[in-house]
Structure 1
Amino acid sequence: MKAPTVNWKLFPPKAHYMLYFGGVAAFWPYITVYGKQLGFSELNVGYIFTVAPIAGIISMPLFGMIADRFKIKKKLFLVFNILNLLALLCFPLLSLTESRTSRPVHIECGEGASHIKHCHASNTSHILEWSSDSAKERILQEYSSKSCLTSCQIECQASVDELVNFCDALLTHTITGDYDLPSFCTKNDSTTAATIPLSFMAQLDFATTMPLEDCIFFQLDSIAERKQDEGFAYRPLSCLPMQKITNCQINCPHFYSANQAMEITDNNMSPAFWLYALFTLLAWIAMAVVTSVADALCFQTLGSRPDLYGAQRKWGSIGWGLFTLISAFLVDVISGDSIIKNYAPSFWIATILLTLNFVVCWRWEVEEEERPKALGRRMAALIAEPKIAAFVIACVVVGMCTGLLWNFLFWYIEDLANDRMCITTGTKNWIKLLQGLISIVQCFLGELPFFYFAGKFINKFGHVNSMAIVLGTFGVRFLLYSILENPWWVLPIELFQGLTYGIFYTNMATYAYVVSPEGTAATVQGIVGSAFEGVGVSFGSLIGGFMYQYMSGRTTFRAFGVFALLMGFLFKVVMMGIDRKFEPISQNPDKEFDIGTEMKPMSKRPK
Structure 2
Amino acid sequence: MLSEQARPRQGGTILKVFIFFYFSSVGLFLPYLPLVFRGMGLTSWQIGILFSLGPLVTVAVQPLWGYISDRFKTVKRIIIGQLTVITSLSLFVFHISSFELLLSAIFLFNVFCFPIIPLTDSLTLATASKAGRHYGKFRLWGSLGFALSALLFGFFFRSHGLEAFSLCYFILLFLCLIISFFLGDASYIGRKANASDIKQLLTNRRIIVFLLLTALLSSSNRANDSFMGIFIRQMGGGSEIVGYAWTVAALSEVPVMIICGSLFARFSELRLLSAAALVFFIRWALFFTVTDPRLVVPIQLVHGVSFGLLFLCSVSYITRMVPDRLRSSGQGLLSAFIGGIAGIVGSTLGGVIMSSLGPRYLYASCAAIALAAFFFYLHLDRVASRSVK
Contact 1:27/1:347 (8 A) holds in 2: no
Q: Give the direction of change, closer, same or farther, for the CA distance of 1:447–1:283 in structure 2 (3 Å limit).
A: farther
Contact 1:324/1:440 (8 A) holds in 2: yes
Partner of 1:343: 163
- Indicate the SS of the match to 1:356: helix
Offset, 1:81: 1.4
> What TM-score comes out, normalization by structure 2 length?
0.91
Partner of 1:332: 158
Offset, 1:542: 1.3
Residue pairs, 1:281-320, within 5 angstroms: 281-304=107-130, 307-320=133-146
Offset, 1:437: 0.7
Partner of 2:148: 322
Deviations 1:425-483 (A, max 9, x none): xx4xxx11111111110111x11111111222232221111111122221111111111
Q: Are 2:184 and 1:361 aligned? A: no
Distance in 1, Cα, partners of 2:306 & 2:387: 21
Equivalent of residue 33 in structure 2, options 9, 31, 34: 31
| Aligned partner letter, 1:85 | T
| Aligned partner letter, 2:180 | C
Residue pairs, 1:197-596, within 5 angstroms: 271=98, 273-304=99-130, 307-335=133-161, 342-344=162-164, 346-370=165-189, 372=191, 375-417=194-236, 427=237, 431-444=238-251, 446-577=252-383, 579-580=384-385
Unpaired segments of 5 or more residues in structure 1? 98-270, 336-341, 418-426, 584-603
| Aligned partner letter, 1:45 | I
CA RMSD between the two structures: 2.2
Distance in 2, Cα, partners of 1:384 & 1:15: 37
Distance in 2, Cα, partners of 1:389 & 1:355: 37
Distance in 2, Cα, partners of 1:63 & 1:302: 22
- Indicate the SS of the match to 1:55: helix
Q: Give the direction of change, closer, same or farther, for the CA distance of 1:471–1:37 in structure 2 (3 Å limit).
A: same
Partner of 1:43: 45
Offset, 1:275: 3.3
Offset, 1:566: 1.8
Distance in 2, Cα, partners of 1:88 & 1:25: 15
| Aligned partner letter, 1:538 | I
> What TM-score comes out, normalization by structure 1 length?
0.60
- Indicate the SS of the match to 2:335: helix
Deviations 1:282-328 (A, max 9, x none): 34333321111111111222234575210100101111110111111
Offset, 1:348: 3.5
Greater shift in the superposed pair: 352-361 or 9-18 = 352-361
Q: Give the direction of change, closer, same or farther, for the CA distance of 1:358–1:457 in structure 2 (3 Å limit).
A: same
Distance in 2, Cα, partners of 1:458 & 1:371: 28
Contact 1:78/1:361 (8 A) holds in 2: yes
Distance in 1, Cα, partners of 2:46 & 2:195: 37
Contact 1:42/1:545 (8 A) holds in 2: yes
Q: Which has the higher helix share?
A: 2
Offset, 1:40: 1.5
Q: Are 2:87 and 1:85 aligned? A: yes
Offset, 1:82: 1.9
Partner of 2:3: none
Distance in 1, Cα, partners of 2:186 & 2:373: 40
Greater shift in the superposed pair: 482-491 or 365-374 = 365-374
| Aligned partner letter, 1:15 | V
Contact 2:73/2:186 (8 A) holds in 1: no
Distance in 2, Cα, partners of 1:83 & 1:450: 33
Unpaired segments of 5 or more residues in structure 2? 1-5
Residue pairs, 1:37-186, within 5 angstroms: 37-94=39-96, 97=97
Partner of 2:18: 16
Partner of 1:172: none
| Aligned partner letter, 1:416 | M
Deviations 1:575-603 (A, max 9, x none): 423x32577xxxxxxxxxxxxxxxxxxxx
Contact 1:331/1:432 (8 A) holds in 2: yes
- Indicate the SS of the match to 1:39: coil
Size of the alignment, in residue pairs?
383
Contact 2:9/2:131 (8 A) holds in 1: no
Distance in 2, Cα, partners of 1:319 & 1:382: 33
Distance in 2, Cα, partners of 1:50 & 1:463: 28
- Indicate the SS of the match to 2:263: helix
Offset, 1:47: 2.1
Deviations 1:82-117 (A, max 9, x none): 2232333224423xx4xxxxxxxxxxxxxxxxxxxx
Q: Give the direction of change, closer, same or farther, for the CA distance of 1:499–1:582 in structure 2 (3 Å limit).
A: farther
Q: Give the direction of change, closer, same or farther, for the CA distance of 1:467–1:77 in structure 2 (3 Å limit).
A: same
Which fold has the larger relative contact order, with Cα–Cα distance below 8 Å and residues 6 or more apart in sequence? Answer: 2
Distance in 1, Cα, partners of 2:386 & 2:298: 36
Contact 2:219/2:343 (8 A) holds in 1: yes
Q: Give the direction of change, closer, same or farther, for the CA distance of 1:555–1:90 in structure 2 (3 Å limit).
A: same
Higher gyration radius (CA): 1
